[in-house]
Amino acid sequence: MSESHTRKVLEPFGWVFQMITGLLLFAFVIFHLYITHLTSHDALEYAKVVQRLSNPAIKAFYWLFLASASFHAFNGLRAILLDTDFGGRNERAVNTLTMALFVVAVVYGGLLLITF
């Protein structure tokens, strides 16, 4: 058994934000489906998508959607890996790798959003 892990903040924050992002994603997915499928029949045409994303509010929404989904996914992956003995032995590597992937996903997706 390893020694005490005082002042570790990733575990409690990971747990709290996993719940928060889970709830947010539920609302975000519904809103996303609403604007892409329920408002009009041609909402998925390229021109319409570009037109929608020129609105800063929609852009901000999609960025928040991206950040929530990425966090939920990579924090979930982190928890799955830490559930194994292999993950437990390589805890620091698991934490660094999954959180780096989260940052990369948010930054890369953010750059794509800016180009619109």
Partner 1 sequence: MEREVLFRIRRFDGDKSYWQDFRFTAKRGMTVLDGLYYIKENLDGSLAFRASCRMGVCGSCAVKINGKPRLACETQILDIGSTLEIEPLDNMPVLKDLIVDMDDFFRKHEAVKPYLMREDDDYENPKELLQTPKELHAYYDFTLCIKCGACYSACPASATRSDYLGPAAITAAYRFCADSRDEGKEERLSLVSGSEGVWRCHFNAECSEVCPKSIEPAKAVQKMRLMSAIHMIKSIFR
Residues that bind partner 1 (CB under 8 A): 1-2, 4-9, 11-16, 79, 82-85, 87-88, 91
Closest by CA position to 114, among listed 53, 69, 70: 53
Residue 23 to residue 79: CA distance in whole angstroms: 18
Length of the chain: 116
8/37 with CB nearer partner 1: 8
CA atoms within 13 A on the CB side of 71: 19
15/34 with CB nearer partner 1: 15
Q: In angstroms, what is the minimal distance from the CB of 28 to partner 1?
A: 24
Residue 74 to residue 10: CA distance in whole angstroms: 13
18/36 with CB nearer partner 1: 18
Q: In angstroms, what is the minimal distance from the CB of 65 to partner 1?
A: 25
Q: In angstroms, what is the minimal distance from the CB of 12 to partner 1?
A: 4
